[in-house]
Amino acid sequence: MSRRGLVAGNWKMNGLIEAADALVSGILAGLAQRGGKVQCDVLVCPPFTAIQSVGKRIAGSAIKLGGQNMSEHTPGAHTGEITGQMLTNIGCSFVILGHSERRSMYGEDSQLVSRKMASAYRDGLTPIVCVGETLQERESGKTLDVIRGQVSAIFPNLPADTAKREQLVLAYEPVWAIGTGKTASPEQAQEVHAFIRGMLVEQLGGGVANKVRILYGGSVKPDNAKVIFSKPDVDGGLIGGAALKPEDFLGIIDGF
Ligand code: PGA
Q: What is the pLDDT of residues 165-174, one digit of tens each?
A: 999 999 999 9
For residue 36, what pLDDT band results from cuts at 50, 70 and 90?
A: confident
Q: Is the CB of 244 under 6 A from ligand 1?
A: no
Amino acid identity, residue 14?
Answer: N
Name beta bridge partners: 8.
43, 238
Helices 246-253, 17-34: axis angle to 10 degrees equals 40
pLDDT of 62-91, one tens digit each?
999 999 999 999 999 999 999 999 999 999
For residue 1, what pLDDT band results from cuts at 50, 70 and 90?
A: very low
89 CA to centre of ligand 1 in angstroms: 27
Q: Is the CB of 241 under 6 A from ligand 1?
A: yes
113 CA to centre of ligand 1 in angstroms: 19
119 CA to centre of ligand 1 in angstroms: 24
What integer is the mean pLDDT of 7-26? Answer: 98
Q: Is the CB of 173 under 6 A from ligand 1?
A: yes
d(CA 182, CA 221) in angstroms, rounded, equals 11
d(CA 47, CA 60) in angstroms, rounded, equals 21
Domain boundaries of the chain, sorted by first residue:
5-68+80-253
d(CA 253, CA 221) in angstroms, rounded, equals 10
For residue 2, what pLDDT band results from cuts at 50, 70 and 90?
A: confident
pLDDT of 144-178, one tens digit each?
999 999 999 999 999 999 999 999 999 999 999 99
What CA–CA distances, in Å, run from 30 to 17, 36, 63, 88, 248?
20, 12, 12, 26, 11
173 CA to centre of ligand 1 in angstroms: 8
Whether pTM > 0.75 for this model: the answer is yes
Task: Among 96, 173, 215, 244, name the best residue to mutate to test ligand 1's pocket (greatest count of ligand atoms within 8 A of Cβ).
Answer: 173
Residue percentage of the chain with pLDDT more than 90: 97
pLDDT of 48-68, one tens digit each?
999 999 999 999 999 999 999
Cβ atoms of 159 and 116 within 8 Å: the answer is no
Q: Is the CB of 239 under 6 A from ligand 1?
A: yes
- The residues annotated as belonging to the active site are 99, 173
CA dihedral 31, 35, 40, 46 (to 10 degrees): 20
d(CA 34, CA 31) in angstroms, rounded, equals 5
- CATH classification for the domain delimited by 5-68+80-253, as one of 1.20.1270.30, 3.40.50.620, 3.20.20.70, 3.30.43.10: 3.20.20.70
Ligand 1 atom, smallest distance to 96 CA:
9
The number of angstroms, rounded, from the C-alpha of 167 to the middle of its chain's C-alpha atoms is: 12
Q: What is the mean pLDDT of the chain?
A: 97
